[in-house]
Amino acid sequence: MAQRSKELFEEAQKVIPGGVNSPARAFGPVGGDPLFITRGNGSKVYDADDKAYIDYVCSWGPLILGHTHPEVVAALKKVCEQGTSFGAPTQVEVQLAELVVEMVPSVDMVRMVNSGTEATMSAVRLARGHTGREKVIKFEGCWHGHADSFLIQAGSSALTMGVPSSPGVTEGTASGTITAPFNDLEAVQKIALENKEAIAAIIVEPIAGNMGVIPPADGFLEGLRALCSDLEVVLIFDEVITGFRVHPGGAQSLYGVEPDMTTLGKIIGGGLPVGAFGGKREIMSNISPLGKGVSQAGTLSGNPLAMTAGYETLTRLNEPGVYKTLESKAAALEAGFQENLKTLGLNYQMNRVGAMMTLFFSDQSVGNFEAATGCDQDLFARYFRAMLEQGIYLAPSQFEGAFVSLAHSDEDIQLTIKANFEALKSC
């Protein structure tokens, strides 16, 4: 029983709406109260009662090296002694930008911001400014942050203008966004052709990571690339989750499809608040103070703490054999889960791409939002609680992925597989 977490949650609800600073941290969908974490080390986090958990949330993806990586921490301590923020250019932001340009094939220039939401919001604004058009196509189940233009759901048909999915989002804002079904190239083509004079950009998670892990169907990304090239529409890959996780060059390198613009976050900050957007020079040269002067600014953008953590993280990810090691860990975890399902006679679905995966409680393959929402969420809630009791910390949602880090040991993997068996058996 996480008694101290329960007490802290009661205190938090008096001064923080819902007791959490992001709804993803709430335990409402799975029952119980959220854990309050006091520290992390390697593959583990510790709650307020000092109980250890093998962590597959990893701060929702950024901590690919694990918690408190000694070299990252040492670099941050050194920077703190020199100053945390200057509101002026620093060498380390240039170094990180150069590393991003080197690693991500579609990026000629990059601008740093403070969150994934800032990155996607700015990328869409720049695409609109660059093209002189107003409408954007996004996909059901893909999450691009909480900017107004992304909080849009499809109407009565998937081929309709969007309608607000949150109070506070105006119908006028929603009218600029069109929502299409993920992995349905024909539907996207129809939408784009019907609105070809108005479409500025198509934005997509190349691997959907916010309705569970859902890879692109064969030919889907390639089709989007061809469509955008034909119509002179800006193709934006939202790689806030997938950037540097599934491949050193992101999903675009894994699948061999280059977008016009890329948004980044999470891993690029090494666990500190960060975001970035980049792309072709001709597009990026229109951001203020250049070209058309498309507005974007940020007081703490490129701050030395986030830049240092990001640079230290990406430098280590660039070392030979890192992604081979990461893949072997994730593959071993998936294989163990699959064997458990087979042994127990269960037909649940495992989706994995690199070091991100989801166990879907469904007997049908999961390739889009409709299939994801058809999963048994009550069963997932029981599974989540059973795993938590055994010291395995997962995201409290059927629609989030699990992240494997380089810090997860073979012992961690085997303990997790054992816990998975017991949890599945008890559910």
Q: What is the pLDDT of residues 82-140, one digit of tens each?
A: 999 999 999 999 999 999 999 999 999 999 999 999 999 999 999 999 999 999 999 99
Specify the pLDDT at position 164: 64
* pLDDT reading at 52 higher than 70: yes
Indicate if 84-317 has the same CATH topology as 3-57+320-371+386-421.
no
* Dist CA 261 CA 242 (whole Å): 14
Q: Which fold has domain 3-57+320-371+386-421?
A: Aspartate Aminotransferase, domain 1 (3.90.1150)
What pTM value is reported for the model? 0.95
**Mean pLDDT, residues 395-402:** 94
136-167 pLDDT tens trace: 999 998 989 887 778 766 443 333 445 667 77
Tell me the Cα Rg of the chain.
Answer: 21
Residue range 84-317, CATH number = 3.40.640.10
Domain boundaries, the chain: 3-57+320-371+386-421, 84-317
